Amino acid sequence: MLVGTNITDWAAVDGAYYAGAGTEAIWLFLSMILCVAALVLGARHEKGAYKRVK
């Protein structure tokens, strides 16, 4: 059984089926924000660690 449909067998599917259609942009921007945040936080941490060593 496919999630979100009443299709019970793959033989009944005659075209493309994608449950996430229309939400790709949301996930793309969310992942971009998370990557930038990780880079900024990592750079800030490394800068602080470098200053502590000197």
1 within some domain: no
- What does the angle CA 18 – CA 24 – CA 26 come to, to the nearest 5 degrees? 140
2 within some domain: no
In angstroms, what CA-CA distances link 30 with 24, 48, 51?
A: 10, 27, 32
5 within some domain: no
3 within some domain: no
Amino acid at 32: M
21 within some domain: yes
4 within some domain: no
pLDDT at 28: 93
Question: What is the residue range of 40's domain?
Answer: 10-53
Number of domains in the chain: 1
> Both tokens of residue 19?
């449950």
**pLDDT tens for residues 1-51?**
446 667 777 777 777 666 677 788 898 999 999 999 999 999 999 999 998
The reported pTM is: 0.59
Residues 6 or more apart whose CB falls under 8 angstroms from that of 3 comprise 19
